[in-house]
C-alpha cells in the first residue's frame, strides 16, 4: 500500500498491521546538529520563498527577510540550499505535521534514510482572507523584526531565538473592524477566486496522489483562528464581553471554509480535514469546557456534518498540551482523531486508547526522553507495540524533535520503532 492507503486504513482501524512511518517534525537546529553527527546530507531542507496563501505562507515574509542578508546570500539560499543553515527555530515538517504550512521547510533526508512515508499535503487554496493583507516590514534593529503578516496581524520576530514571531497587534478589535474585514476580505460571492492560478495543474497532481490530502490546517481553527485575529488575552475577554461578535466571526469563517471545500470537491476528492487549535497548555485547557460547548462545539458539528455529507470521515484536531478534559467534547462534536498527544504535558496514550477505543491517535512518544539513551528509549517504546495492535495509531514524537536529541539516539529510536511497525 502507498502512504495514502495506509493512512486511510489506519485511521479506520481496518488493518491493524498497517501504520504510517512519520514524525511530527524537527527543529531546524536539530537537523543542523544531525548533519554534523552523521545524517547523510542529500536534500537540505529549503525554506519556501514564495507567498502562496495564509496556510502555506504565514510567516514566510519574515523568514525570507531574516535570511536575505544580501542578494548573493539570498540567491545561494534558494539555488544552493546546502550553503546556508536553516534558522534554529524553524520547524521542518515530517508527515505528522502536514505541508505546506507557515513557511516551513519539509524534510527529505531523514525520511529517505529510514524509508518513511510521504507527508500529508494541504490543498492549496486561500482559507482565511481574500484578498490577503499586504506584508510589510515596519521596524528592524539588531534584535527584532516587526512586520505586518498576511492575516493583518503585527508580529515581532526575535533574531536570536529564531522561532515563530509573537503577536503585537491584531486586526479585529471591535464590531467596526470586523465588519470591514468581513465585507472586504471574507465575502461569499468570490469563493472560486480563492483557488490558485495553477489550480488545473494541482488537480492533476491531487488525482494521482500517493499521500493523504487534507483541507484545513494552520491557522484554521475554531479557537486557533480567533487567537490570530483577536489575540489570546483579548479573546478570553471577548467570550464574555462580546459573545455575539465571536459567533458572527465563527459563522462567517465556517461558511467560508465549507463553501471553499465544496468548490474544491468539484475537482478532486480529499481524505481528511485538519483543524488547528493549540487550545491546551501544560496544565489543561486555556478555555473552560462550558465555553467550548457554547463557542466551539456547534461549529465543529457544522464542519463534521458537512464532511459526513461528502463521505469524508477523518476529522483531526491538532492541539498541544494537556487536552484530557477536551477529548470527550471533541468526540461528541464529530472529531475522529487527535494529535500530537504530548506526554510531557500529561497525555497518556495507553489510557486514552482504553477510555476511547475508537479514537484515532497520532504521536504520544515523549520526545525529550529519546535523548536519555537506549535503555530509556526501549522503555518509552514498550507501550507502542500494544497500541499498534489495537489499530488506529500512528506513533511519533509528541511534537517537534528538539536539538537535545543526538542523531545516534534518534537513529536507534527510529529503527526500533520502524521494526515494531513492520513486525505487527
CATH number of the domain residue 401 falls in: 3.20.20.210
Please state, in angstroms and rounded to a whole number, the distance separating the CA atoms of residues 189 and 182.
12
Please state, in angstroms and rounded to a whole number, the distance separating the CA atoms of residues 398 and 377.
14
- Ranges of the chain whose pLDDT falls below 70: 15-17, 69-84
Q: In the prediction, which pLDDT does 248 show?
A: 98
**Contact between residue 150 and residue 135 where contact means Cβ atoms under 8 Å apart:** yes
Q: In the prediction, which pLDDT does 75 show?
A: 59
C-alpha cell at 352: 486514552
Q: In the prediction, which pLDDT does 79 show?
A: 55
Q: Taking the model in full, what pTM does it have?
A: 0.95
Q: In the prediction, which pLDDT does 18 show?
A: 72
Q: In the prediction, which pLDDT does 274 show?
A: 98
Q: In the prediction, which pLDDT does 76 show?
A: 59
Q: What is the pLDDT of residues 103-140, one digit of tens each?
A: 999 999 999 999 999 999 999 999 999 999 999 999 99
Q: In the prediction, which pLDDT does 15 show?
A: 66
Domain residues for the domain of 129 are 3-423
Q: In the prediction, which pLDDT does 393 show?
A: 97
Residues 6+ apart with CB under 8 A from 130: 185, 186, 187, 190, 193, 194
**Contact between residue 391 and residue 369 where contact means Cβ atoms under 8 Å apart:** no
Q: How many independent structural domains does the chain possess? A: 1
Q: In the prediction, which pLDDT does 372 show?
A: 98
How many other CB atoms are there within 10 angstroms of residue 424's CB atom?
16
Query: DSSP 3-state assignment of 361?
Result: strand
Q: How far is CA 169 from CA 148, 230, 231, 253, 375, in A?
A: 9, 8, 8, 20, 47
Q: In the prediction, which pLDDT does 260 show?
A: 98
Helix extents (H) in 69-188: 71-79, 109-113, 175-185
Which of 103-132 are b and which e, b meaning 16 or more Cβ less than 10 Å from the residue's Cβ?
A: bbbbbbbbbebbebbbbbbbbbbbbbbbeb
Amino acid at each position: 500500500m502507498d502512504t495514502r492507503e495506509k493512512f486511510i486504513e489506519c485511521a479506520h482501524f481496518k488493518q491493524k498491521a498497517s501504520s504510517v512511518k512519520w514524525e511530527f517534525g524537527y527543529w531546524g537546529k536539530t537537523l543542523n546538529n544531525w548533519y554534523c553527527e552523521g545524517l547523510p546530507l542529500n536534500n537540505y531542507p529549503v525554506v519556501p520563498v514564495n507567498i502562496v496563501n495564509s496556510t502555506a505562507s504565514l510567516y514566510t515574509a519574515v523568514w525570507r527577510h531574516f535570511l536575505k542578508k544580501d542578494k548573493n546570500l539570498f540567491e545561494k539560499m534558494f539555488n544552493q540550499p546546502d550553503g546556508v543553515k536553516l534558522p534554529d527555530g524553524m520547524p521542518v515538517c515530517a508527515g505528522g505535521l502536514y505541508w505546506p504550512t507557515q513557511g516551513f521547510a519539509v524534510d527529505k533526508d531523514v525520511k529517505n534514510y529510514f524509508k518513511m512515508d510521504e507527508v500529508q499535503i494541504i490543498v492549496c487554496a486561500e482559507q482565511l482572507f481574500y484578498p490577503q493583507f499586504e506584508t510589510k516590514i515596519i521596524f528592524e534593529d539588531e534584535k527584532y523584526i516587526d512586520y505586518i503578516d498576511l492575516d493583518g496581524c503585527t508580529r515581532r520576530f526575535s533574531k536570536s531565538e529564531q522561532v515563530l514571531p509573537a503577536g503585537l497587534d491584531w486586526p479585529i478589535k471591535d464590531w467596526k473592524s470586523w465588519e470591514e474585514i468581513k465585507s472586504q476580505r471574507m465575502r461569499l460571492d468570490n469563493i472560486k477566486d480563492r483557488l490558485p492560478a495553477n489550480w488545473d495543474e494541482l488537480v492533476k497532481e491531487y488525482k494521482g496522489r500517493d499521500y493523504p490530502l487534507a483541507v484545513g490546517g494552520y491557522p484554521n481553527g475554531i479557537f486557533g483562528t480567533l487567537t490570530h485575529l483577536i489575540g489570546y488575552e483579548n479573546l478570553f475577554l471577548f467570550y464574555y464581553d462580546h459573545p455575539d461578535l465571536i459567533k458572527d466571526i465563527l459563522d462567517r469563517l465556517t461558511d467560508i471554509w465549507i463553501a471553499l471545500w465544496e468548490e474544491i470537491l468539484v475537482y478532486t476528492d480529499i481524505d481528511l480535514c485538519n483543524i488547528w487549535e493549540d487550545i491546551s497548555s501544560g496544565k489543561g485547557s486555556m478555555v473552560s469546557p462550558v465555553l467550548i460547548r457554547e463557542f466551539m462545539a456547534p461549529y465543529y458539528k457544522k464542519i463534521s456534518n458537512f464532511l459526513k455529507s461528502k463521505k469524508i470521515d477523518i476529522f483531526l484536531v491538532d492541539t498541544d498540551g494537556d487536552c484530557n478534559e477536551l477529548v470527550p467534547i471533541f468526540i461528541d462534536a464529530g472529531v475522529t482523531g487527535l494529535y500530537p498527544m504530548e506526554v510531557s504535558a500529561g497525555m497518556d496514550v495507553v489510557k486514552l486508547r482504553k477510555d476511547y477505543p475508537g479514537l484515532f491517535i497520532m504521536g504520544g512518544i515523549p520526545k525529550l526522553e529519546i535523548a536519555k539513551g537506549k535503555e530509556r528509549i526501549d522503555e518509552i517504546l514498550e507501550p507502542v507495540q500494544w497500541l499498534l495492535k489495537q489499530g488506529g495509531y500512528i506513533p511519533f514524537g509528541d511534537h517537534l524533535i528538539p536539538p537535545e536529541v543526538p542523531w545516534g539516539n534518534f537513529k536507534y529510536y527510529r529503527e526500533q520503532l520502524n521494526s515494531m511497525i513492520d513486525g505487527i
